[in-house]
């Protein structure tokens, strides 16, 4: 069902395919040094109310809560910023411009193997965006596109599995990206391994 | 059949293909086959006010498929590294020195070029003249453009 429409081309950029590993995910290389990233949303767009777009972006980010790796995206509030740059502000915005067949593009910055900033641009001039699970016609649900782009912001490249959220292309009105595939989860856990909760101390006697 | 081949092949290579290669060629200012000779990352502010690292890739042209002939061309590709800070762009693959490709380009007011339709417009080519990951060859692209009189 995945067809002609692109989410993006080049998480391929610098992507490290995992050779003999049967997993199909790829890593772009760097990862966040702390287990969470806070992002802002400028939800001004051509297709939906700001609230609907913001809610949909947040739902897309929260897709990665399903992966139970040691990382989460935290919504930090609305923003009126319209530029994408290295400013330690992680921003999601909509831009009234087309970008070929790319529906959205993620820009992430790294230094010393650590991601230090990530921004997502939805190309609102080229596509019509919808939110929720119904009503889409010839466009894309923000939740599903955001889920893919936040995967890049996490540090993932593209997967070769068509059912994976990180597969590089999708079809109009697809709602499958908002549900992670096992391959997506494996990729997230490769970047942010699960850690067991610390064991309760034993053998100590508390002296009041 | 040829058109179908090109469309399918572009899916396999660039992971995107809403725009067939011939349509890309028609709307591009230039289409060249060349090898990346050098790259120079710079900070650049684009028309939206985004301050980004952009790699200016000097491409040694082997063949011009559309546009005036030249020996080299400078292509600006978003992403790169300056002073240890790296910008990764999900729809822009780096075109590193030594790599060959078919490039669909759009001119800028600066006299340089950018990938027309962004990342889907740099098709990397292997030593056997095949677009990486596909059965498509440079000859296929050349033949289709010639048949459609895109020059």
CATH of residue A163's domain is: 3.40.390.10
> Which domains occur in chain B, in start order?
2-147 (2.40.50.120)
Assigned domain for A198 exists: no
CA-based nearest residue to B98, from B46, B137, B59, B145: B59
What pLDDT, in 10s, does the model give residues A115-171? 999 999 999 998 999 999 999 999 999 999 999 999 999 999 999 999 999 998 888
Contacts of A118 (CB under 8 A, 6+ apart): A37, A39, A90, A106, A107, A108, A109, A152, A153
Torsion of CA B59, B62, B67, B73, to 10 degrees: 20
Place of tokens 């790829």: A26
Instruction: Supply the pLDDT for residue A23.
Output: 72
Cβ(A37)–Cβ(A90) below 8 Å:
yes
Between chains, do B93 and A12 touch, taking CB under 8 Å as contact? yes
Between chains, do A8 and B19 touch, taking CB under 8 Å as contact? no
Assigned domain for A191 exists: no
Q: Which of A15, A82, A107 to mutate to test the interface with B (most CBs of B within 10 A)?
A: A107
Give the pLDDT of chain B (151 residues) as one tens digit per residue: 333 333 322 222 222 335 788 999 999 999 999 999 999 999 999 989 999 999 999 999 999 999 999 999 999 999 999 999 999 999 888 999 999 999 999 999 888 999 998 877 899 999 999 998 889 999 999 999 999 998 8
Chain B residues touching residue A30 (CB < 8 angstroms): 86
A139 vs chain B: nearest CA distance in angstroms?
Answer: 13
Distance of CA A59 to the CA centre of its chain: 11
Assigned domain for A159 exists: yes
Assigned domain for A201 exists: no
Q: What share of chain A in percent tops pLDDT 90? A: 71
Q: pTM, whole model, 2 decimals?
A: 0.84
What pLDDT, in 10s, does the model give residues A76-89? 999 999 999 999 99
Give the total number of structural domains in chain A.
Answer: 1
> Is residue B106 within 8 angstroms of chain A, CB to CB?
no
Say whether pLDDT at A199 is over 80: no
What are the distances in angstroms from CA A26 to CA A10, A101, B96?
A: 11, 22, 20
Assigned domain for A193 exists: no
Among A7-16, A35-44, A157-166, B44-53, which is the least confidently predicted range?
A7-16
> Is residue B127 within 8 angstroms of chain A, CB to CB?
no
* Cα–Cα distance for residue pair B17/A158, rounded to 1 Å: 16
Among all residues of chain A, which has the CA nearest to that of B52?
Answer: A85
> Is residue A83 within 8 angstroms of chain B, CB to CB?
yes
List, as one string, the DSSP characters of B65-118: EESS--SEEEEEEEBEEETTEEEEETT-----TT-EEEEEEEE-TTS-EEETTG
Cβ(A24)–Cβ(A105) below 8 Å:
no
Structural domain of A52: 5-14+26-186
Per-residue three-class SS string for A119-166 = EEEEECCCCCEECCCCCCCCCEEHHHHHHHHHHHHHCECCCCCCCCCC
With H, G, I as helix, E, B as strand and everything else as coil, classify residue B62: strand
């Amino acid at each position: 069902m995945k067809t002609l429409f692109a989410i993006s081309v080049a998480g391929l950029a610098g992507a490290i395919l995992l050779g003999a590993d049967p997993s199909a995910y790829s890593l772009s290389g760097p990862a966040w040094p702390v287990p969470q990233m806070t992002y802002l949303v400028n939800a001004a767009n051509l297709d939906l109310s700001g609230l609907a777009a913001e809610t949909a972006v947040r739902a897309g980010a929260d897709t990665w809560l399903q992966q139970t790796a040691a990382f989460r995206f935290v919504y930090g509030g609305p923003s009126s910023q319209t530029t994408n740059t290295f400013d330690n502000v992680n921003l999601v915005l909509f831009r009234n411009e087309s970008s070929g067949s790319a529906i959205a593009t993620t820009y992430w910055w790294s230094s010393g193997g650590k991601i230090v900033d990530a921004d997502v641009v939805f190309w609102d001039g080229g596509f019509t965006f919808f939110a929720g699970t119904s009503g889409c016609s010839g466009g894309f649900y923000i939740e599903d596109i955001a889920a893919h782009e936040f995967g890049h912001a996490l540090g993932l490249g593209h997967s070769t599995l068509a059912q994976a959220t990180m597969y590089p292309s999708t079809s109009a009105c697809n709602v499958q990206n908002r549900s992670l595939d096992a391959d997506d989860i494996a990729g997230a856990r490769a970047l942010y391994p699960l850690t067991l909760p610390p064991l309760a101390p034993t053998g100590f006697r508390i002296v009041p | 059949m040829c058109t179908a081949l090109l469309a399918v092949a572009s899916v396999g290579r660039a992971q995107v293909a809403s725009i067939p290669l011939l349509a890309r060629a028609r709307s591009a200012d230039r289409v060249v086959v060349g090898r990346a000779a050098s790259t120079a990352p710079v900070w650049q502010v684009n028309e939206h006010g985004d301050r980004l690292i952009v790699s200016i890739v000097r491409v040694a042209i082997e063949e011009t498929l559309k546009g005036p002939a030249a020996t080299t061309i400078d292509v600006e590709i978003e992403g790169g590294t300056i002073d240890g800070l790296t910008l990764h762009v999900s729809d822009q693959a780096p075109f590193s020195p030594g790599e060959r490709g078919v490039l669909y380009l759009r001119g800028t007011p600066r006299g340089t070029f950018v990938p027309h339709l962004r990342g889907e417009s740099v098709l990397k080519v292997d030593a056997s003249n095949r677009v990486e990951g596909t059965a498509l060859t440079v000859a296929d692209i050349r033949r289709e453009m010639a048949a459609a009189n895109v020059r």
